[in-house]
Amino acid sequence: MEKTRSLLNRIGRPIGIGILGFCIAIFAGGVWSALLTTNLRTSPAIPWSVPVMAVVVWAMWRYLGGDWWPRSTAEKRRQYLRANSVPRKTFFWALTAGVLSVVALAGLWIVMFQLVRMPGNVLPDMSKYPPLTASLMVLMGSLVSPFMEEATFRGYFQVALEQECTGAVAVLISSFLFALGHFNHGLLWPKLLVYFLAGLAFGTTAFFTKSTLPAIPVHFIGDMTFFTLVWPNDTARKLMWEVGPDRWFWIHSAQVIVFGTLAIWAYTRLAKTVRRAS
């Protein structure tokens, strides 16, 4: 009986923290969507939603990192967020590996849209709003997810998993939940595959560096890349099976292979750097 209770506690704690993290990420995205919609509807010339959301993200990050009441949970919150400083060389290889992964995943997304028929991600049409408003809102939209998703998926959830299972298993499970967390983009296997692989990249970075910080700038670069360069063109992509493979199909296929290989190499360098430092 005691062993069964212990097992349930070991399983239940990561599951509970995972659900909590999932809810926090959805909450942050919902707050930003509400602020964005209200701002564009009432006063699009004044992007007041951007500083308001910046304060919300700052407050949530500080709280998840151990600030404020209740003090009894402060140390646990700090440990679960694991916003630890990282040596410069380790940060360099984490950033390099992450950016190479983003380039490879952008190519994979485009290739998938030429292989499988699926709807593109719906983005608000910002062309009818003032350039400053549009730019600041895209910038803030690309910052909300990196901070909140790294805090919840690679911080709280993955840390809890790492305490109960191997690092590889923890990264796989957190990446699976991360992919499911993008259900609003459509439960389509090609999209979920890209999100899962992105989760693997971010989760591996967090595991090697024992910090959520290095993946944040990479996540931001990834969001900006997809928001501005990839997703707006999804609806114009033609299926290879209907029009045949054009040169861009082969270019993006090569992009996946070359940058994916380079990303794996960079992650091996990151792992070696971490081992030497420890």
> In percent, how much of the chain has pLDDT > 70?
96
Chain Cα centroid distance, residue 149 = 6
Question: Alpha-carbon torsion 119, 107, 266, 61, what sign?
Answer: negative
- Residue 22's pLDDT is 85
Mean of pLDDT values over 66-73: 95
Over 90: is that where the pLDDT of 92 sits? yes
Q: How far apart are CA 43 and CA 83, in angstroms?
A: 36
Higher pLDDT, 220 or 13: 220
| H helix or E strand, kind and range, residue 136 | helix 131-149
Chain segment 164-185, per-residue pLDDT in tens: 999 999 999 999 999 999 988 9
For 63, the 3-state DSSP assignment is: helix
> In percent, how much of the chain has pLDDT > 90?
85
Chain segment 234-264, per-residue pLDDT in tens: 999 999 999 899 999 999 999 999 999 999 9
Every domain of the chain and the residues it spans: 2-277
Average pLDDT, the chain: 94
- Contact partners, residue 45, CB within 8 Å, separation at least 6: 130, 133
For 120, the 3-state DSSP assignment is: coil
Q: How confident is the model at residue 123 (pLDDT cuts 50, 70, 90)?
A: confident
Mean of pLDDT values over 5-22: 76
Q: Which residues of 149-161 are buried (b: 16+ CB within 10 A; e: fewer)?
A: bbbbbbbbbbbbb
Three-state secondary structure of the chain:
CHHHHHHHHHHHHHHHHHHHHHHHHHHHHHHHHHHHHHHHHHCCCCCCHHHHHHHHHHHHHHHHCCCCCCHHHHHHHHHHHCCCCCCHHHHHHHHHHHHHHHHHHHHHHHHHHHHCCCCCCCCCCCCCCCHHHHHHHHHHHHHHHHHHHHHHHHHHHHHHHHCCCCHHHHHHHHHHHHHHCCHHHCCCHHHHHHHHHHHHHHHHHHHHHCCCCCHHHHHHHHHHHHHHHHHHHHHHCCCHHHHCCCHHHHHHHHHHHHHHHHHHHHHHHHHHHHHHHC
Over 80: is that where the pLDDT of 212 sits? yes
